[in-house]
């Protein structure tokens, strides 16, 4: 307790220097918190755009499908499976899909396309594909031999809403699949590479066309919180295995979209560099101030050592002073950062021009009001302050009384 009283007294005695050091740590905390908030907000926005575009937060496939996709690696789309998924409170929505390739014809024009069978009603609540329809309408709830095509496919085939689309592919029974569909709508624009070669059919139409019966290739899942996708996917995999679906596997969006995940990780490393620069500025400011304090109080430390104060207590006193100042600065910084985080989360920063990502227009970058924006700066600022105080504290603890008294 005496050590705390002495540390508090010393901070008040050197008010101007304590204020300067505290402001350095406070500004560092606020900048770190805002930087973390925007980083979390940007990553959350990108993950939400990609996962809600097609991927979902997780997917269920026949074992080995992701390693080597095949028309024949399918599984039964049964009510029992959906009932099992519904037992997990983390699962908000689930939608089945079929994947294949085909040749598409409109009059004399032809091109290769990626064929995707979807359940329109379930897809609406799981992804944002319905929001990307620019011309025409989304697929109807009931199968009606209609198709949605990407803008690039429409441009190549010179198709428009109402055009007759001929699709030729291979059926699961080995036969040649061919049928006629009506273009119901066109997705996105030429810049939307995610829909570049896609053609969507109603799930029932796709199953009939490809002779798949009641089978699908994947079920895309939407969780309540994308941040826990990996943990929830592991739990869900165990759940479906325990329910008897041992030939199925669950993969999170990180496994389904490995390139995007690696890009996110690289971006995080770049963000760590900017945060390191902020902490370096704080460290230099704190080190300079604490070192100057030790030099000015050399005689005081010499007197303390002369009357029997152990080097350990002198060392602890300096570290404690810095630690107390860091905690007070971080507490005030958290209060001030709350207003900034709230403002940037509610209002954000508008882009000079709207940005189109995965066919969806983004106009504002928003921060994320999360716990990590508070405790991460607290840990980093406090630890940095304590670490840089060790060198001056060691120097003060090693002062010989006779040398300290001769210094002035």
Q: pLDDT tens digits for 100-138?
A: 999 999 988 899 999 999 999 999 999 888 888 888 999
Query: How much is the mean pLDDT over the chain?
Result: 83
| Average pLDDT value for residue range 28-42 | 83
What values do phi and psi take at 83, rounded to 5? -65, -40
Q: Left, alpha or beta for 333 (phi > 0: left; psi -120 to 50: alpha)?
A: alpha
Q: pLDDT tens digits for 69-83?
A: 989 999 998 889 999
Let me know: does 388 contact 318? Beta carbons within 8 Å. no
Distance CA 5, CA 22 (A): 19
| Average pLDDT value for residue range 10-39 | 80
Distance CA 81, CA 131 (A): 28
- Residue 405: pLDDT above 70? no
DSSP annotation of 141 = S
Residue 392 parent element (H or E): helix 372-397
Distance CA 90, CA 110 (A): 43
Band (pLDDT 50/70/90 cuts) for residue 96 is very high
> pTM for the full model?
0.76
Q: Is the dihedral of CA 221, 226, 230, 236 positive or negative?
A: negative
Distance CA 249, CA 217 (A): 12
- Residue 13: pLDDT above 90? no
* HEC letters along 263-291: HHHHHHHHHHHHHHHHHHHHHHHHHHHHH
- Name the more confident of 364 and 241: 241
Distance CA 300, CA 312 (A): 15
The DSSP secondary structure of 181-224, one letter per residue, reads: EEEEEEES-TT-GGGTTEEEEEHHHHHHHTT-TTEESEEEEEES
Beta-carbon contacts of 54 under 8 Å, excluding residues fewer than 6 positions away, are 127, 129, 194, 220
CA distances from 51 to 223, 231, 358 (A): 10, 16, 10
Q: pLDDT tens digits for 141-170?
A: 998 999 999 888 998 999 999 999 999 999
- Residue 360: pLDDT above 60? no
* 95: helix, strand or coil: strand
Per-domain residue ranges of the chain = 2-51+261-406, 64-246
Could you tell me the two tokens for 2?
Answer: 């005496």
Let me know: does 36 contact 371? Beta carbons within 8 Å. no
Q: Look at residues 113, 255, 256, 79 and name the one whose alpha carbon lies nearest to residue 183.
A: 113
Band (pLDDT 50/70/90 cuts) for residue 95 is very high
| Average pLDDT value for residue range 305-319 | 77
Q: pLDDT tens digits for 336-359?
A: 888 888 888 877 777 666 656 555
- Residue 202: pLDDT above 90? yes
Could you tell me the two tokens for 277?
Answer: 């620069």
Let me know: does 290 contact 318? Beta carbons within 8 Å. yes
- Residue 260: pLDDT above 60? yes
| Average pLDDT value for residue range 178-196 | 82
């Amino acid at each position: 307790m005496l050590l705390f009283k002495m540390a508090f007294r010393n901070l008040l005695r050197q008010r101007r220097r304590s204020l300067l050091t505290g402001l350095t740590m406070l500004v560092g905390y606020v900048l770190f918190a805002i930087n973390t908030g925007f980083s979390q907000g940007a990553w959350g926005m990108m993950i939400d755009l990609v996962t809600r575009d097609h991927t979902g937060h997780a997917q269920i496939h026949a074992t080995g499908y992701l390693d080597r996709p095949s028309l024949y690696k399918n599984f039964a789309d049964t009510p029992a499976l959906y009932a099992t998924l519904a037992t997990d409170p983390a699962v908000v929505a689930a939608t089945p899909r079929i994947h294949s390739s085909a040749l598409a014809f409109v009059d004399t024009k032809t091109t290769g396309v990626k064929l995707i069978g979807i359940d329109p009603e379930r897809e609406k609540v799981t992804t944002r594909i319905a929001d990307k329809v620019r011309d025409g309408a989304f697929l109807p709830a009931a199968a009606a031999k209609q198709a949605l095509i990407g803008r690039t496919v429409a441009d190549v085939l010179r198709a428009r809403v109402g055009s007759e689309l001929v699709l030729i592919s291979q059926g699961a029974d080995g036969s040649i699949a061919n049928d006629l569909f009506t273009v119901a709508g066109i997705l996105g624009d030429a810049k939307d590479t995610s829909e570049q070669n896609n053609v969507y059919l109603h799930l029932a139409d796709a199953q009939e066309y490809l002779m798949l019966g009641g089978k699908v290739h994947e079920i895309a899942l939407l969780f309540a919180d994308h941040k826990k996708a990996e943990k929830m996917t592991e739990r869900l995999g165990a759940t479906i295995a325990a329910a008897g679906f041992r030939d199925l596997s669950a993969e999170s969006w990180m496994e389904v979209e490995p390139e995007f995940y690696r890009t996110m990780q690289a971006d995080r490393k770049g963000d760590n560099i900017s945060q390191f620069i902020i902490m370096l500025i704080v460290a230099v400011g704190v080190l300079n101030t604490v070192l100057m304090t030790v030099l000015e109080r050399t005689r005081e430390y010499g007197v303390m050592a002369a009357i029997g104060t152990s080097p350990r207590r002198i060392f602890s006193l300096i570290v404690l002073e810095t630690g107390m100042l860091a905690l007070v600065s971080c507490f005030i910084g958290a209060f001030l950062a709350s207003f900034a985080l709230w403002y940037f989360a509610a209002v954000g920063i508008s882009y000079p021009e709207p940005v189109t990502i995965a066919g969806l227009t983004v106009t504002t970058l928003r921060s994320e009001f999360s716990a990590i924006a508070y405790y991460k700066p607290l840990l980093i600022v406090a630890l940095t302050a304590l670490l840089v105080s060790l060198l001056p504290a060691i120097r003060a603890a090693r002062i010989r009384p006779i040398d300290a008294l001769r210094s002035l």
